[in-house]
Amino acid sequence: MSGEAEMKLEDWLDTLHIELLIKRYPAQDNRYSAWFGVFNGEFSWETGEFKQHVGDPMLRGKYGNGKTPSEAVQNFLKEVGGMILILKPYGEDRRQHIVPKNLEYP
């Protein structure tokens, strides 16, 4: 055990006003992708970007793929747990949050 208390994914997202986005790719059999984003107020979404650690100068786009929506989310959470999520990285309202390693889904 890691010693960290588990938190439900939906509670973490609600607290920070972040959305979990899932897309189905109809031209590809059973492919779904999951990622975090925020609504930008113009009928579109701005996706989050990630850094490995505080001093890391590089932003990375991350997402999870799977044959089902649930599998895509699980793969995404494994990929980004412990990383720093940066929302609106180039705007005045930039926010950053550490993604917990132990988010429960569903």
List per-residue pLDDT tens for the chain, 106 residues long: 455 668 999 999 999 999 999 999 999 989 999 999 998 777 788 899 999 999 999 999 999 999 999 999 999 999 999 999 999 888 899 999 999 999 999 8
C-alpha angle with apex 80: 87 to 56, nearest 5 degrees? 65
Give the single-character DSSP code of 17. Answer: T
Whether pTM > 0.85 for this model: the answer is: yes
Distance CA 12, CA 26 (A): 30
Give the single-character DSSP code of 6. Answer: P
